[in-house]
Amino acid sequence: MLGAIQLDLVTGFLSFLFTLLILSYVVGDNAGFRLAIHAFVGVSAGYIVVIVLQQVIVDKMLLPLITGDILARVLSMFPLILSLLLLGKMSSRFEWLGRPVVALLVGVGTAAAVTGAVLGTLFPQVLAAGQLFDLHSSPSFGAVAGNLLTGIFALVGTIVTLAYFQFTVLSKNEASGRRGKMMSFFALLGQVFIAITLGAIFAGVLAAALTALVDRMQSLVSFVEVLLSTFTP
């Protein structure tokens, strides 16, 4: 029990110390801040190496190769060979060996990303935006009206936002290089939507940062409380 308490105190002290070092950045870049950063990066990298070595190389490649059946061994040979070829990228002389592996990785990852973006984001979002204008989506008029207004608002917001990013000038205004009046109005409206969006994102970022700050301050307070409770009768 004492050991657990002492361990909590040590971890709590280190947490308190590194928290203060990170917060010291308020007064500017300093050695304490850099020490905390370097410690975090080093610990994270070490942890990542251990995790990858254990959970990826050993568990997913070597273990099936050693303890698996024939099929598992044969299948495990592919990642092993590809990994060895990928090591050729470390040398300029054998750099070409890793090209197929990299090509495979990029190709598979791109294919998955594109497929997921089209099927998982684009089509569903288009369908969802269209459903807002479906007057029969809900028997409630208020819900339909709400959906319709939401849809119109989303549509206008989308259009004016795209209009703001329309930098091509039509032939009528080529000489001046400026947008027409209609496009200028849409662009201005798009700026409003973009500002609202960025404001919302900034609010979320601020909320997330303040939440993290509150968590750190709360951890300090908790550490102090634990420390006081430990060493005070």
Q: What is the Cα gyration radius of the chain?
A: 29
Coil, helix or strand at residue 205? helix
- Residue 128 touching other proteins (CB under 8 A): yes
- Residue 192 touching other proteins (CB under 8 A): no
Closest CA to 216 of 3, 15, 50, 70: 15
Distance (Å) of CA 145 to CA 134, 151, 153, 158: 10, 9, 12, 19
Fill in the per-residue mask, 11 to 50: x = in contact with other proteins (CB under 8 A), - = not in contact: ------------x--xxx-----------x---x--xx--
Q: Of the two residues 84 and 143, which places its CB atom closer to other proteins in the complex?
A: 143
Q: Of the two residues 91 and 217, which places its CB atom closer to other proteins in the complex?
A: 217
- Residue 109 touching other proteins (CB under 8 A): yes
Cβ-Cβ contacts under 8 Å for 22 (sequence gap 6 or more) = 33, 36, 37
Map tokens 């039509």 to a residue: 170
- Residue 51 touching other proteins (CB under 8 A): yes
Q: Of the two residues 6 and 124, which places its CB atom closer to other proteins in the complex?
A: 124
- Residue 70 touching other proteins (CB under 8 A): no
Cβ-Cβ contacts under 8 Å for 175 (sequence gap 6 or more) = none
Q: How many CB atoms lie within 10 A of CB 37?
A: 15
- Give me the least distance between CB of 93 and other proteins, in Å please: 28
The CA-based angle 92-96-102, given to 5 degrees, is: 110
Q: Alpha helix locations (H) across the chain?
A: 2-23, 31-52, 63-67, 70-87, 99-117, 123-131, 141-164, 181-231
Coil, helix or strand at residue 37? helix
- Give me the least distance between CB of 193 and other proteins, in Å please: 12
Q: Of the two residues 94 and 134, which places its CB atom closer to other proteins in the complex?
A: 134
- Residue 204 touching other proteins (CB under 8 A): yes
Binds other proteins (CB under 8 A): choice among 103, 135, 207, 230: 207
- Binding footprint of other proteins on the chain (CB under 8 A): 23, 26-28, 40, 44, 47-48, 51-52, 54-56, 58-60, 63-64, 108-109, 112-113, 116-117, 119-121, 124-125, 127-128, 174-175, 177, 197, 200-201, 203-208, 210-219, 221
